[in-house]
Amino acid sequence: MFQSPDFPTLSSEIIASTATDVQRALERTRLQLHDLAALLSPAAEPYLQQMAAKSADITLKRFGKTTQLYAPIYLSNYCTNRCVYCGFSADNLIKRKCLTLEEAEKEAGILLDRGFQHILLVSGEAESAVDVEYMEAVALRLRNKFAAVSIEIQPMSTEHYRRLFEAGITAVAVYQETYDRDLYKHVHPSGKKSDYDYRLEAPARVAQAGMREVGIGALLGLADWRAEGLAIGHHLNWLRREFWSTAFTVSFPRMRPAAGEFEPLQLVSERNLSQLIFALRLFDQDVGLIVSTRAEERYRDGMLGLGPTRYSAGSCTAPGGYSESDYEGEQFSVGDHRSLDEVCTMIRNKGFDPVCKDWDREFQINN
């Protein structure tokens, strides 16, 4: 199984990179992990414009002038974990809700009517509310309505992931939150999520179960973003070797205001975020890069075509939020409040094609 590199060692490797290392990385077609370290380093900051241009060129060649669009559906905000940074933390006094199967289907129907064909089912980590049987039942209700149904819930066993794949789930996102093992203990003091290794091994279990796509990432604002980026690179590199037929994505969630009033431990500027995105695009030319509505609309507009390949739109982060105007219990506040139509208009105005469907579940059935 994947062994996460020592976090201080990653930081040291990055800081030791020089301008010469950056220039060599920019000249190469196939990058190694030491090249990624250079591109994430402070020495690479003067080369950000060159990185952006090369990232845009690679993205155009690999993905064309397209941006896939999706929306999340929050099924439940019950959670047994006490993550110090999360609005769903068991310690936070928020209104808790778990959607019934009928309510989940209603939320999905609203998004379907708005034009979405890719949805992401999200929940807090509480098996008493959302277990494999519940997710299986939701998937069976939705699989014939959408091109692709993904999930972001608590880590599961390979057997349970296989059940969900057979029920119609196409992809799973499991973010490590932070690859800094020591900090991980501090920000996850209790609950099943406090098991660093079980979570770290989840993407491999997802791939072993036969899922079409696996998403990884780190929550930016906890540890040093540069070292997090290199750790993601190590993890992605290992997953590529072990599961060559699986598609992979990386998400870049920056901390947003949420219940509990936790303040980020590290500041991550938009310039920092851009450097991280460009570096990962140059390192892995085929990985899907996701920028969600956590980011401000101005930033998302500016990044279009430069590296990201997938945007969320019209998002609500509370269970039942699409059908209720007075919803409560959000996981975090969003930075881009535009509807799907508004985001599609922006994409077209910039000469790109918004894509609401790029997969059909018939491929999954036949394979």
pLDDT above 80: residue 365: no
Q: Which domain holds residue 273?
A: 7-366
The Cα–Cα gap between 312 and 293 comes to 6
The Cα–Cα gap between 272 and 274 comes to 5
Per the domain annotation, does 230 fall within a domain?
yes
Structure tokens at 116: 């979405």
Per the domain annotation, does 197 fall within a domain?
yes
Query: In which band, very low, low, confident or very high, does the pLDDT at 257 lie, cut at 50, 70 and 90?
Result: low
Per the domain annotation, does 151 fall within a domain?
yes
The Cα–Cα gap between 42 and 79 comes to 38
Residue type (1 letter), 343: V
For residue 55, which of 367, 349, 355, 274 has the smallest C-alpha distance?
274
Summarize the confidence of residues 224-246 as an average pLDDT: 98
Per the domain annotation, does 133 fall within a domain?
yes
Summarize the confidence of residues 204-233 as an average pLDDT: 97
Question: Residues of the chain with pLDDT > 90: what percent?
Answer: 86
CATH number at residue 47: 3.20.20.70
Does residue 69 contact residue 118 with C-beta atoms inside 8 Å? yes
DSSP for 237-290, written as a single string: HHHHHH-TTSEEEEE-PBP---TT-PPPSS---HHHHHHHHHHHHHH-TT-EEE
**Predicted local distance difference test score (pLDDT) of residue 233:** 98
Q: Is 301 exposed, middle or buried (0-12, 13-18, 19+ CB in 10 A)?
A: middle
Taking the CB of residue 215, how many other CB atoms lie within 10 A of it?
A: 25
Per the domain annotation, does 129 fall within a domain?
yes
pLDDT above 90: residue 216: yes
Least confident of 186-200, 274-288, 289-303, 346-360: 346-360
Per the domain annotation, does 361 fall within a domain?
yes
The Cα–Cα gap between 29 and 33 comes to 13
Query: In which band, very low, low, confident or very high, does the pLDDT at 59 lie, cut at 50, 70 and 90?
Result: very high
Does residue 297 contact residue 335 with C-beta atoms inside 8 Å? yes
- Total domains in the fold of the chain: 1
Count H helices, E strands: the chain? 15, 9
Per the domain annotation, does 1 fall within a domain?
no
Per the domain annotation, does 2 fall within a domain?
no
Least confident of 2-16, 100-114, 134-148, 352-366: 352-366
